[in-house]
Amino acid sequence: MANSHSSFLFFLLSFVLFLCDCPKKVEAAYRFKEKPANLHPQKHDFAISSLIPGKVCSAPTEGPKTISRLQVAYKYGPCSPMKRGNTTTPTLHQILLRDETRVKSIHSKISNQHSLVSDPAVELPANSGESLETGDFIVTVGFGTPKQDFRLVFDTGSDLTWIQCLPCSGQCYTQKDPYFNPSLSSTYSNIPCTSMACSQLESATGNAPSCSGNCIYQISYGDNSYSQGNLATDTLTLSSSDIFPKFKFGCGENNNGLFGYADGLLGLGRNQISTVSQTSHKYGKLFSYCLPSTSSFTGYLSFGKKAVASSGVQYTPLLTDSSGPSFYFLDLIGISVGGKRLSIPTSVFKISGTIIDSGTVISRLQPKAYSIFRLAFRRAMARYPAAPAYSILDTCFNLEGISTVTVPTIVLHFGGGTDLNVDQSGILIVANLTQYCLAFAGNDAATDLAIIGNMQQQTMEVVYDVEGGKLGFGPKGCS
């Protein structure tokens, strides 16, 4: 009888709402029944040993057969083409010090007064360097006629591409390959001071060019590394079918700093002189990459519309900021830990803005957002004993004697309904055999730019559709 009475009341309520022309209210009242409580898994269970790189390079990541690929690898790992027998892998403390100088350099370039506005394929495998130069990733490209191969750090936070060149009139640091000799290339040419390309240098490097008939570039980095030399053109070769005559680059004759044995840098920023812009007639300002989970795996760097391998890519708008036009700005709006959305006001993320950067290792969050995020993560990890802070990492755990660990999932939410589900390899970083730390850090000030670092991008296919004004994340791009 009670059930009949309840059914009658429900029918009566629905009929009244229908007469009031309120069907949307009925839908809203019962919509919660259609959605699961959690849209993402709550935890990862994995072996601690999976966070520790192997000593042997695993088989390269397989990709679509129709795409030629540039391989990406960690610079000092077993897959790196830069590996030398006497190379010493830097400690995590050294890596974090270098990472902090990079972050401070990026922060110094941004005014923090944001006015954000929406704005055929070749793949290169990516090798990552656990080095003093942060988590640098190496790709191999060709310069000159005849072509000579060079191993370059690729960097979405830089614009100018440069390599070390003879006669090294100032100084050149030791590199793996022979220095580029312009006199042996039939297609090499210096760019004069009066050219438009020379006038673009200041916005690309932060330094006005100097002149000696030829256009002289100079670029310095946050750790006091630098390169200086002739702005020039020559043939850039990415594959046998992807050749770019008169590519503008820096032919560095005075270079020094923490570049390891890399031959130079491949700039993937948004400036007119960047590789992305110079190859836009063929690739449409579209590229993607996948960064491997450890140094014993490889990833890839791809260019062009056919470079998107995953069918499950979610896109979020790329934003433009006048104070940092070369960086890739995103609309970070929230964070979930263990399947639960944290109570962080969206306005917290708007104060500083957010970029994604291939050269920063540890993601940086606004102080308030990080405080709430850190507390939620610590609570989810309460079963494990706390360990002392390590450098900039203040949330660490003693996992001595533990073979399998359970960590909460971390999801970064972006505008447009796009989520970055951080891979388990990007949640904890190994300080030593017993101490494991959360691979995030807080910024000093609320106005400091938030940065999505490369650890949190690991194993994801990250798609930069610059011309289309969007950036995407696809799952399981590489190991």
Q: 416: buried, middle or exposed (CB in 10 Å: 19+, 13-18, 0-12)? A: middle
Annotation marks residue 159 as catalytic: no
Which one of the listed residues 155, 223, 242, 448 is annotated catalytic? 155
Contact yes or no for 163/246 (Cβ under 8 A) = no
Q: Is residue 146 reached through a cis peptide bond, with omega within 30 degrees of 0 on the bond before it?
A: yes
List the Cα angle 196/199/204 in 5-degree steps.
115
| Amino acid code (one letter) for 73 | A
Contact yes or no for 188/229 (Cβ under 8 A) = no
Alpha-carbon span 219 to 249, nearest angstrom = 12
| Residue among 138, 95, 361 at smallest CA distance from 261 | 138
List the Cα angle 288/293/294 in 5-degree steps.
125
Tokens of 289: 């990459």
| Residue among 273, 272, 305, 311 at smallest CA distance from 288 | 305
Name the 3-class secondary structure at 96.
Answer: helix
Tokens of 372: 């709430």
Q: Which DSSP category does 192 fall into? A: B
Name the 3-class secondary structure at 218.
Answer: strand
Which one of the listed residues 136, 321, 357, 423 is annotated catalytic? 357
Q: Is residue 167 reached through a cis peptide bond, with omega within 30 degrees of 0 on the bond before it?
A: yes
The count of other CB atoms within 10 Å of the CB of residue 155 is 23
Contact yes or no for 401/437 (Cβ under 8 A) = no
Alpha-carbon span 382 to 376, nearest angstrom = 10
Name the 3-class secondary structure at 261.
Answer: coil
220 strand-pairing partners: 226
Tell me the HSE value of 427 on the side-chain side, using a 13 A CA sphere. Answer: 29
| Residue among 450, 290, 268 at smallest CA distance from 356 | 450
* Cα 414 to Cα 347, 355, 377, 417, distances in angstroms: 13, 12, 20, 6
Annotation marks residue 119 as catalytic: no
Q: Which residues are catalytic?
A: 155, 357
